[in-house]
Amino acid sequence: GVMVTVVERLAWLLPRQLDQPASLILQSKIEKMGISVITGAKTKALVGDGHVQAVELEDGRSLPASLVVISAGVSANVDLARKAGLEVNRGILVDDHMRTSLPGIFAAGDEAEHHGRLYGLWVPAKSQGTIAGLSAAGKDAVYPGDPPSARLKVLGIDLFSIGQFMPEQPTDLLVSEEKDGNYASFIFREGIIIGSILLGDASLASYVKTAVESQRNFSDLLHDNLSVDKIKAALK
């Protein structure tokens, strides 16, 4: 029963989970619900006297508002680790065994920085905890890293993304399709699936996740007439 405006500072919605074509589809679905979307806009100030009355953008626009919700991500609290003498950056630095810079101390989860990455997600945190426990018990356990993945339901719209979702090398192959208001994309590198987006229909999410994590090779499908439907059929 209220008017809602979403302001995103980056070029499109969910830039860490979606490529631009998928994001535009999501934006269209959201706007059809009566929600306004502004992308590429930075907030300059919240305006009001004792209570917010407007959001002022850097481009000079002023958006009337009686309530503002700010989504600003997460930041690891490393104060205790720093005081204890551990090496920290954005998080507590760990190696492949989840060992910190001090003997006998391990770190896992949202505060652990592994090869420059802070995951901030449940699945990697669980995997890291397992490796940390095994390592602490003297086992030779190695954390290989997890392809970043997200499973969300945004305003009733199913969304799944994993791994790399935009080509980065000249040989990367992107296969994508928009159909019936849904979007699916798959990226291959030398025949191996390295990422995917499923928007609207995410029923194959578990199959895609398994394929990406196991570095499944689809070279036998990539020779000619490749389509999203063929990839989906091969995943099952």
pLDDT for 40 equals 95
Q: According to the model, what pLDDT value does residue 145 have?
A: 85
How do residues 72-117 score in pLDDT, each as one tens digit? 877 899 999 999 999 999 999 999 999 999 999 999 999 999 999 8
Low-confidence ranges of the chain (pLDDT < 70): none
Cβ 26 vs Cβ 14: under 8 Å: yes
Q: Which of 235, 192, 236 is nearest to 215 (CA)?
A: 192
Q: How high is the pLDDT of residue 210?
A: 92
What's the confidence (pLDDT) of residue 131? 97
